[in-house]
Amino acid sequence: MVFVSSPLPDPPRRGRPARAAQSERTPLSRERIVDAAMAIVDAGGLDALSMRSVAQALGTGPASLYAHIADKDELLALLIERVAGELELPEPDPERWQEQLKAMVRATHYGLLAHRDLARAGLANIPLGEGALRFSDRMIEIMRSGGLPGQVVAYGCDLLPLYAVATAYEQALYAERMTTEEGERYIAEIGEYFAALPADRFPNIVALAGPLVAGGGEGERFEFGLDVLVAGLAAYGRGGW
Q: What is the DSSP letter of 47?
A: G
Q: Give the nearest distance from C-beta 177 to its own copies in angstroms.
A: 10
Residues 122-181 that bind its own copies (CB under 8 A): 123-124, 126, 128, 133-134, 136-138, 140-141, 144, 150-155, 157-159, 162-163, 165-167, 169-170, 173
Q: Does 62 bind DNA (CB under 7 A)?
A: yes
When CB distances are held under 5 to 8 angstroms depending on the partner's kind, the choice from its own copies, DNA, none that residue 32 binds is none
Task: List, in order, residues 6 or more apart from 79 with CB less than 8 Å away.
Answer: 34, 37, 38, 41, 115, 118, 121
> Which region, judged by CB under 8 A, interacts with its own copies, from 20-28, 38-46, 104-112, 210-218?
210-218
- Contacting residue, 23, 39, 42, 66, with DNA by CB under 7 A: 66
Q: What is the DSSP letter of 123?
A: T
Is 216 strand, coil or helix? coil
CA dist 36 and 65 (Å) reads 12
Is 151 strand, coil or helix? helix
CA dihedral 55, 61, 67, 73 (to 10 degrees): 50
Q: 67 vs 126, which CB is nearer to DNA? A: 67
Q: Residue 100 — φ and ψ, nearest 5°?
A: -70, -40
Among 167, 75, 64, 76, CA closest to 118? 76
Q: Does 217 bind its own copies (CB under 8 A)?
A: no
When CB distances are held under 5 to 8 angstroms depending on the partner's kind, the choice from DNA, its own copies, none that residue 49 binds is DNA
CA dist 205 and 191 (Å) reads 10
Q: Give the nearest distance from C-beta 72 to DNA in angstroms.
A: 4
Amino acid residing at 45? G
When CB distances are held under 5 to 8 angstroms depending on the partner's kind, the choice from DNA, its own copies, none that residue 167 binds is its own copies
Q: 24 vs 130, which CB is nearer to its own copies? A: 130
Q: 28 vs 105, which CB is nearer to DNA? A: 28
Q: Does 221 bind DNA (CB under 7 A)?
A: no
Contact (CB, 8 A) for 215 and 224: yes
| Whole-number Cα distances in Å, 222 to 34, 87, 140, 229 | 29, 18, 22, 11
**Using CB under 8 A as the criterion, which residues of the chain lie in contact with its own copies when the complex forms?**
123-124, 126, 128, 133-134, 136-138, 140-141, 144, 150-155, 157-159, 162-163, 165-167, 169-170, 173, 190, 193, 197, 201-205, 208, 211-212, 214-215, 221, 224-225, 227-229, 231-236, 241
**Using CB under 7 A as the criterion, which residues of the chain lie in contact with DNA when the complex forms?**
27-28, 49-53, 60-64, 66-68, 71-73
